[in-house]
Amino acid sequence: MSQHANEIYLKDYQVPAYLLEHTELRFELREGATLVHSQLAFYLNPACEQAQPPLSLFGHEDLELISMSLNDIPVAESSWQREGEILTVVDVPERFCLKVVTRILPHENTALEGLYLSDGMYCTQCEAEGFRRITFYPDRPDVMSVFRTTVEADQHQFPVLLSNGNPVASGNTDDGRHWVTWEDPFPKPAYLFALVAGDLAHIEDHYTTMSGRNVALRIYAETKDLDKLEYAMASLQRAMAWDEKVYGREYDLDIYMIVAVDFFNMGAMENKGLNVFNTSCVLAHPATTTDAAFQRVEGVVAHEYFHNWSGNRVTCRDWFQLSLKEGFTVFRDAEFSADTNSRTVKRVEDVALLRTAQFAEDAGPMSHPIRPDSFIEISNFYTLTIYEKGAEVVRMIRTLLGEELFRKGSDLYFARHDGQAVTTDDFVKAMEDASGRDLSQFCRWYSQAGTPELKVEDHFDASTGRYTLTVQQSCPPSPGQTEKQPYHLPLAVGLLDSEGNDLPLAEGYHTQVLELTQPEQQFVFEGLSSKPVPSLLRGFSAPVKLNFPYSREALMFLMANDSDGFARWDAAQQLVVGIMQEMMDRLTQGQPLTLADELVTAYRAVLTDNALDPAMVAKVLTLPSEAYLAELAECVDVDAIHEVRCFLRQSLAQALAPDWQRVYRDNQTEGEYSPDAKSIAHRSLKNLALSYLMALETEESLALAQQQYRQADNMTDMQVALSLVAHSGFAAAADELLTDFYQRWQNESLVVNQWFAIQVTDPKPGALARVEKLMQHPAFDRRNPNKLRAVIGNFCAQNKVNFHAEDGSGYRFLAEQILLLNTQNPQVASRLLTPLTVWRKYPSQRQALMRQALEQIQSCKDLSRDVYEVVSKSLA
């Protein structure tokens, strides 16, 4: 495995020896191959301390080097060499122009990195290190350059030719071909380069920035999808206005383009002026798109737009700083969505994701700090930790500084570093300088991995009226980090009196931010007449696991009274999780399951409180996912988790049947479909009621679901009904609807993905056979990442009881698929591998089988760096 030994370390960072004044590219797109002509104007970096350093460029092994000249003189054989990914040229002057021609094969590019074909359309994906698959280049984010790009192709097949920036010239050549030249005046690293060529349709609108500049907005897609672009356009306009209002940031080019492509390894990409999106993150239409997908479109459009400042104008010095742009941008898009829709709902969703998936990552073999120290393959570090925990770290800075100083810090950061490639330290320094606060201890959030744990105890002294909170913090060891230093973190608390009212705390506020810095600290509240109920970690003020010995009574009290909406939801979660854990204990001891009265009381209170936001009612009454219960368990018993969850859903359905029926009736949305927060809230509560009713498995509830399926005027209602029927015991009805659904939507690729997902997540026995059969279906395409995720990804991650079948068949299946994908698409292969990496959390028999599957993958001789890193770290 020596081929993979080269781990890259942050501590080895060195400034680039040469910088770029200008990059000129010409792409000749032709049937057989593409020729890439590049002209690079280099100069010696004054900050480089080495004398006469060689020029080293990155270029993928598959690149065919056609020619190379320096100041128009061919480079002598003795002056250059290629070793692995590196091309070195020696004896170069302080300033020179390097001309290189490479030949690449986009139609054979199945990895979907660099230049490739998606459904007959050329497109690029260069982040993080895809540009080196196009031509030899200093492909590192701290080398920034202005680009002039000419794209030349057959006029008929590829009428639309796009790249970054503004179109400056175009023309036709003699042989039915045409070309367009684009100029991007903003210096950028190569990872933000983009090219698109194809037969594309588009919609166009515009935006007038706060300084009065007019920006043309265009969204491109295949003609058949032209009716699904409006929502993305409106989202873009909202995001542009929000960034002006909240951050004072306006757009800087005359044109902003988004292109929808079907073959895409990830969600979307923020290429300067030319975003490329996975169709799943841009297309939206009521008939084909669920509420959740509408919200994803809005969030992703905003995310990519916000990168224009947090990512493009100010970018990363190196890939260890990835969270600099991603953590900040996720924080920005989350706040945008919170302001645009419901703040509490957005927070609940983000925290649920963090607790379920990021906490699991942080406790597993791939655990890493938000600024990693090393990596083998950077693509493996586009993780929930970098993104979601990174966003939490930015959120904590805002909580510690307050909104005003945070904005001052962000203004200073953008002003100070505009046009630069910087580090997370630079970001924190700007926040410190603008606020006068010392964040040196806080910086441990960037260097330490693992989820901190807080243990809180309280004490009330009735004679003095003193209430004391004692808080201890600790953090479990993670790979390469055995000892952790205490964190600086904001713990937002409130105290409730016996009536459920907030007690006034410091300066009359109802929520006080306690700052933890020590392994153990005490906080004293004076002048209380009776023992309060503490509301801890309001708004999830820090990404930690909090442990406080709440009684069920106290949790029910918080659920009913807390003034913080997030805390009310959190209390409900803790209540039901505690009950489910107790049920699992009973199950393992062979005792019969019963429904806890407290839960019925608490749920009924929520169901009958008309003052509550229906979205929050739905969130509170949704049972914690199997994945979250697995994360919380010391040793995961997938069958017990599934059985307890099913039992609870069914018994809650029974105990509250009249309430569910009423809620189902009362939350119908009238009129034309709209994906606004209020309508989504009603639909989510209505569909939750339907799911409880379906848990009863009665003919009446089946009829209700079938009726909803038939009468639905939107994909949300249709999909929920289909999924409930498909997963029920009504086999004939399930077959009928699944067949009908496919017949109806077979020409909508994204809807077919939903159809796949519903079938592979059916927990009934025999799912693997269904998966294997679906992989033979004509609509399945194993080169399309969305299809792979829909079928393989959903089966392995969302169908725990079947994936973890006792005979190990699920594990063997995944190992086989990973090996098939390993050379075809390493990025997707490595991501799909995740469910196997957490093998240490499973009982010994399953552990052994999961390990075997990992070892089978490891024994493959030519593993990609992506898969090699994940497998070897998992087994280490």
**Cβ closer to ligand 7MF: 386 or 640?**
386
Beta carbon of residue 350, minimum distance to ligand 7MF (angstroms, whole number): 11
Specify the stretch interacting with ligand 7MF by CB under 6 A; choose among 263-271, 598-606, 621-629, 716-724.
263-271
Bridge partners of 96, per DSSP, are 42
Could you tell me if 380 and 869 are in contact, meaning their C-beta atoms sit under 8 angstroms apart? Answer: yes
Could you tell me if 301 and 239 are in contact, meaning their C-beta atoms sit under 8 angstroms apart? Answer: yes
Structure token pair of residue 612:
């509550």
| Out of 304, 361, 502, 717, the residue judged to bind ligand 7MF by CB under 6 A | 304
Please give the helix or strand (H or E) that residue 81 lies within, else none. strand 80-83
Sheet holding 177-188, edge to edge: 73-74, 64-70, 95-104, 34-44, 18-29, 145-154, 177-188, 166-172
**Cβ closer to Zn ion: 326 or 562?**
326
| Out of 300, 324, 693, 829, the residue judged to bind ligand 7MF by CB under 6 A | 300
Site for ligand 7MF contains 137 (CB under 6 A):
no
In the region spanning residues 309 to 348, those forming contacts with ligand 7MF, defined by CB under 6 A, are 326, 330
In the region spanning residues 7 to 36, those forming contacts with ligand 7MF, defined by CB under 6 A, are none
CA distance 176 to 109: 26
Report the SS3 class of residue 70.
strand
Which of Zn ion, ligand 7MF, none does residue 127 bind (CB under 5 to 8 Å by kind)?
ligand 7MF
Which of ligand 7MF, Zn ion, none does residue 467 bind (CB under 5 to 8 Å by kind)?
none
Site for ligand 7MF contains 250 (CB under 6 A):
no
Counting other chains too, the contacts that 850-855 makes at CB distance below 8 Å and 24 or more residues apart are: 850/808, 850/811, 851/875, 852/808, 852/811, 853/808, 853/811, 853/812, 853/814, 853/815, 854/815
Beta carbon of residue 270, minimum distance to ligand 7MF (angstroms, whole number): 5
Site for ligand 7MF contains 266 (CB under 6 A):
yes
Beta carbon of residue 74, minimum distance to ligand 7MF (angstroms, whole number): 38
Q: Taking CB positions, which residue lies at the least distance from ligand 7MF?
A: 382
Site for ligand 7MF contains 350 (CB under 6 A):
no
**Cβ closer to ligand 7MF: 291 or 762?**
291
Sheet holding 489-496, edge to edge: 512-516, 489-496, 533-536
The number of C-alpha atoms within 13 Å of 337 and in the hemisphere containing its C-beta is 24
Could you tell me if 627 and 761 are in contact, meaning their C-beta atoms sit under 8 angstroms apart? Answer: no
Specify the stretch interacting with ligand 7MF by CB under 6 A; choose among 303-311, 522-530, 533-541, 735-743.
303-311
**Cβ closer to Zn ion: 274 or 854?**
274
Beta carbon of residue 111, minimum distance to ligand 7MF (angstroms, whole number): 14
| Out of 268, 400, 583, 734, the residue judged to bind ligand 7MF by CB under 6 A | 268
Site for ligand 7MF contains 192 (CB under 6 A):
no
Among 365, 513, 548, CA closest to 449: 365
Beta carbon of residue 276, minimum distance to ligand 7MF (angstroms, whole number): 10
Q: Rounded to a whole number, what is the distance in angstroms from the first to the last CA of the chain?
A: 14
| Out of 136, 305, 387, 730, the residue judged to bind ligand 7MF by CB under 6 A | 387
Beta carbon of residue 161, minimum distance to Zn ion (angstroms, whole number): 26
Q: How far is CA 253 from CA 164, 194, 610, 649, in A?
A: 10, 15, 49, 53
Show the site string, 307-326: x = touches Zn ion by CB under 5 A, - = not.
Answer: -------------------x
Site for ligand 7MF contains 270 (CB under 6 A):
yes
Structure token pair of residue 639:
């069958």
Could you tell me if 539 and 347 are in contact, meaning their C-beta atoms sit under 8 angstroms apart? Answer: yes
Among 194, 52, 63, CA closest to 121: 194
Q: Residue 221 — φ and ψ, nearest 5°?
A: -160, 175
How many residues touch ligand 7MF under the rule CB under 6 A: the total is: 14
Site for ligand 7MF contains 382 (CB under 6 A):
yes
**Cβ closer to Zn ion: 285 or 368?**
368
CA distance 512 to 646: 39
**Cβ closer to ligand 7MF: 25 or 324?**
324
Which of ligand 7MF, Zn ion, none does residue 268 bind (CB under 5 to 8 Å by kind)?
ligand 7MF
Residue with tokens 């509420």: 291
CA distance 245 to 241: 6
**Cβ closer to ligand 7MF: 276 or 599?**
276
Beta carbon of residue 59, minimum distance to ligand 7MF (angstroms, whole number): 22
**Cβ closer to ligand 7MF: 330 or 705?**
330
Report the SS3 class of residue 511.
coil
Read out DSSP for 316-376? ESSGGGHHHHHHHHHHHHHHHHHHHS-HHHHHHHHHHHIIIIIHHHHHSTT---SS-SEES
- Beta-carbon contacts of 509 under 8 Å, excluding residues fewer than 6 positions away, are none
Could you tell me if 85 and 61 are in contact, meaning their C-beta atoms sit under 8 angstroms apart? Answer: yes
Which of ligand 7MF, Zn ion, none does residue 869 bind (CB under 5 to 8 Å by kind)?
none
**Cβ closer to ligand 7MF: 387 or 406?**
387
304 part of the active site: yes
Beta carbon of residue 378, minimum distance to Zn ion (angstroms, whole number): 14
Beta carbon of residue 127, minimum distance to ligand 7MF (angstroms, whole number): 5
Choice among 24, 129, 250, 304 that is catalytic: 304
Structure token pair of residue 59:
């270029």
Residues of the shown chain interacting with Zn ion in the complex, contacts defined by CB under 5 A: 326, 329
What residues are annotated to the active site?
Answer: 304
Residue ranges binding ligand 7MF (CB under 6 A): 127, 266-270, 300, 303-304, 307, 326, 330, 382, 387
